[in-house]
Amino acid sequence: MNNNPKEAVDFANSIKDSMKSSEADVVFCVPFVSLAPVMEALKGTNIAVGAQNMHFEDSGAFTGEISGKMLAAMGVPYVIIGHSERRQYFNETDETVNLKTKKALSCGLTPIVCVGETLTQREQDITVDLVRMQVRIAMLGVSKDDAKKVVIAYEPIWAIGTGKTATDQQAEEACKAVRQVLSEIYNQATADAIRVQYGGSVTPANAKALFAMPNIDGGLVGGASLKPDFEVVANA
């Protein structure tokens, strides 16, 4: 919940030229009120736009919610599902994440599905078990072909907005667990085709080492995406 529409457009305009030669797929996930103007500002560039949330129903008495069909009608290609802050503050559950993931896919959207543990859960050494469970529930009922369209982001809740970052090895261990359980649900080829990201205080200083790990295909970037040197992260 940062930047009004004008500020979001100004930021998009300030960075789009520097991203022209980027080999990375870059997506700006902005608040609902900024989707239309930011999409207009980035039209014709190699930067896509995504929403930060959606509802799992197409329409109905859900005041304040936005449906996947609404996003698709706007031409929005991506949507974040089950971000740790949605789970922590707005009662998102593994089951609603699954419903939203399937609905996003049915609307032609690419869901960026978030999984991750709290500090207590990490201290109890259940990170891998928890992440595996979250992935299994999120992907319940998702076909092999649709699974390849999903992005999964491992974001340890204890590292969101705290300045703490999982070590390269911790992040790799969790992302490897994500890949492993995907291979069990589907097969290895499908698991390899699914993009697995790390999110949790990614910065220009740590991005390159994190993204160099074999099972980390990129980042779900939070606070650093609000700063001009975001291009350093995106090109890491």
| Residues belonging to the active site | 83, 155
**CA 157/CA 89 separation, integer angstroms:** 12
End-to-end Cα distance, the chain:
25
d(CA 174, CA 94): 17
Residue 93, C-beta contacts closer than 8 angstroms, at least 6 positions apart? 87
How many C-beta atoms lie closer than 10 Å to residue 207's C-beta? 21
Run of H or E including 211:
helix 207-211
Asked if residues 5 and 37 have their Cβ atoms less than 8 Å apart, the reply is yes
